[in-house]
Amino acid sequence: METTPLAPPPPAYEETSLQGVDHIEFFVGNARQAAHYYRSAFGFDVVAYAGPETGVRDRASYVLRQGRVALVMTAPLGPGGEIADQVRRHGDGVRTLALQVRDVDAAHHDAISRGARSVEEPHSVEDRRGSVRLSTVRTFGDTVHTFVDRAEYQGAFLPGYREERRDGGGAGLALVDHCVCNVELGRMDEWVDWYRRVFGFDVFQEFDERDIATQYSALRSKVVRGGRQGSVTFPINEPAQGLRRSQIQEYLDYYHGPGVQHIALHSDDIVESVGRLRRQGAEFLRAPDAYYRELPDRIGPIDEDLDRLRSLDVLVDRDAHGYLLQIFTRPVADRPTLFFEVIQRKGSRGFGKGNFKALFEAIEREQAERGNL
């Protein structure tokens, strides 16, 4: 009996290896107000601007930095075009997950040859500070990945931007730990396979209804990871059948399609970071008191003061490699879609599996207030 040979796995991204997340661009209704919010509440510095004053006629963009995190807030200057169309459909949300690469042309060619769809071919942008090589491919929904090589550039961000300097004071947010993506029911495996095939990512962890469920709702999730030393990590979620509408389905309903659900930012001292963020006006989900009563027996000894963690609503989880501390903001816009996570890892390589129930119940309390549970 003849058998069909299995297709060989795609070759590793040796030539173009992804170096990490370069920046994350949001399409928003008002870029100036969004930049002010992330500066005042999250401590980001405003470092660059592009708009009519710099020769850009269709948009205004503000670049914010903190540690190795770069966020770009971009708003349309008129009612037409892709920026206005996306904001009208999705509300404020992530458009671009930009990735640093050594060779944009090779990265783009490899991605297209493996099944990605090109949005923008490789090209260079230049000014007196040097040049940057860029290209873009499409991924889930209206989200895109832009490949960036800025080795020959000395400016604040990209050509076409002027330098700004408005200090935000910081909050100890050091780097992008991971970005979580929500996709429609039945499409998680399709996009996991896409990242394996196109970028050579591995499935790092996976969770199902037995791991991520409450009395009312559940989800399934697989974590894909790749790049230099696993520096690019995308957990991909889909809703699972439950008694009521899950938080993933609520996101899909309000965002009108798949997209980035939350961005996890690493801190080396989460207690200091969250304390400062709270004082600056960032709003976080609340953990039930019972969570902290059960915590010592579940996770064992930790360095942090439990009463201080309780006062800040910081969650703790442990795996075979150590423990982590994490906390989640409320949605950062009017639609219950995008939010942020602050995370500190003390050896743990996980994503807070032991906290899923407490987190989901906190989200469901807010869903119930919105009448969406």
pLDDT at residue 279, rounded to an integer = 97
Q: For Cα atoms 287, 291, 295, give the angle at the middle one, nearest 5 degrees.
A: 130
pLDDT at residue 307, rounded to an integer = 95
Under the banding of pLDDT at 50, 70 and 90, the label for residue 95 is: very high
Rounded to whole angstroms, the Cα distance separating 44 from 70 reads: 9
Residue 25 in this model has a pLDDT that exceeds 60 = yes
Instruction: Give me the residues paired with residue 342 across strands.
Output: 265, 327
CATH topology of domain 173-370: 2,3-Dihydroxybiphenyl 1,2-Dioxygenase; domain 1 (3.10.180)
Burial code (b: 16+ CB inside 10 Å, e: under 16) for 234-269 equals bbbbbbbebeebbbbbbbbebbebbbbbbbbbbbee
What residue type is assigned to position 166 of the chain? R
Rounded to whole angstroms, the Cα distance separating 347 from 318 reads: 9
pLDDT in tens, 193-204: 999 999 999 999
Instruction: Give me the residues paired with residue 119 across strands.
Output: none
What residue type is assigned to position 318 of the chain? R
Under the banding of pLDDT at 50, 70 and 90, the label for residue 352 is: confident
Rounded to whole angstroms, the Cα distance separating 160 from 129 reads: 11
Under the banding of pLDDT at 50, 70 and 90, the label for residue 338 is: very high
Under the banding of pLDDT at 50, 70 and 90, the label for residue 294 is: confident
pLDDT at residue 360, rounded to an integer = 62
Record the pTM: 0.92
Q: For Cα atoms 261, 265, 271, give the angle at the middle one, nearest 5 degrees.
A: 120
pLDDT in tens, 104-139: 999 999 999 999 999 999 999 999 999 999 999 999
User: What percentage of the chain exceeds 70 in pLDDT?
Assistant: 89
Mean per-residue pLDDT for 352-364? 67
Residue 160 in 3-state DSSP?
coil
User: What percentage of the chain exceeds 90 in pLDDT?
Assistant: 76
Under the banding of pLDDT at 50, 70 and 90, the label for residue 212 is: low
pLDDT in tens, 311-322: 999 999 999 999
Residue 114: Cβ within 10 Å count: 16
Under the banding of pLDDT at 50, 70 and 90, the label for residue 211 is: low
End-to-end CA distance of the chain: 53
Rounded to whole angstroms, the Cα distance separating 281 from 43 reads: 10
pLDDT at residue 12, rounded to an integer = 55
pLDDT at residue 363, rounded to an integer = 61
C-alpha distance from residue 98 to each of 22, 30, 43, 134, 161 (Å): 5, 21, 22, 10, 17
pLDDT at residue 11, rounded to an integer = 54
The conformation of residue 29, written as its DSSP 8-state character, comes to S
Under the banding of pLDDT at 50, 70 and 90, the label for residue 354 is: confident
Domain map of the chain by residue range?
18-166, 173-370
129 token code pair: 């500070």
pLDDT at residue 8, rounded to an integer = 54
Residue 84: closest CA among 32, 138, 141, 27: 27
| CATH architecture type of domain 18-166 | Roll (3.10)
C-alpha distance from residue 86 to each of 60, 74, 142, 253 (Å): 15, 11, 8, 15
pLDDT at residue 14, rounded to an integer = 53
Domain 18-166 identical in fold to domain 173-370: yes
Mean pLDDT, the chain, whole residue set? 91
Walk across the sheet containing 117-127 and list its strands. Answer: 117-127, 130-138, 144-149, 93-101, 18-27, 69-76, 59-66, 45-50, 162-166
Residue 63 in 3-state DSSP?
strand
Residue 79 in this model has a pLDDT that exceeds 80 = yes
Mean per-residue pLDDT for 293-310? 92
Pairing of strands 339-346, 259-267: parallel
pLDDT in tens, 241-260: 765 677 888 999 999 999 99
C-alpha distance from residue 24 to each of 33, 73, 89, 119 (Å): 17, 9, 19, 17
Mean per-residue pLDDT for 214-218? 63
- Residue 151 contacts residue 130 (beta carbons within 8 Å): no
pLDDT in tens, 270-285: 999 999 999 999 999 9
What residue type is assigned to position 366 of the chain? E
pLDDT at residue 225, rounded to an integer = 95
Residue 24: closest CA among 94, 74, 75, 92: 94
Rounded to whole angstroms, the Cα distance separating 62 from 166 reads: 11
* Residue found by looking up tokens 């796995």 in the block: 9
- Residue 181 contacts residue 236 (beta carbons within 8 Å): yes
Mean per-residue pLDDT for 147-163? 96
What residue type is assigned to position 85 of the chain? D
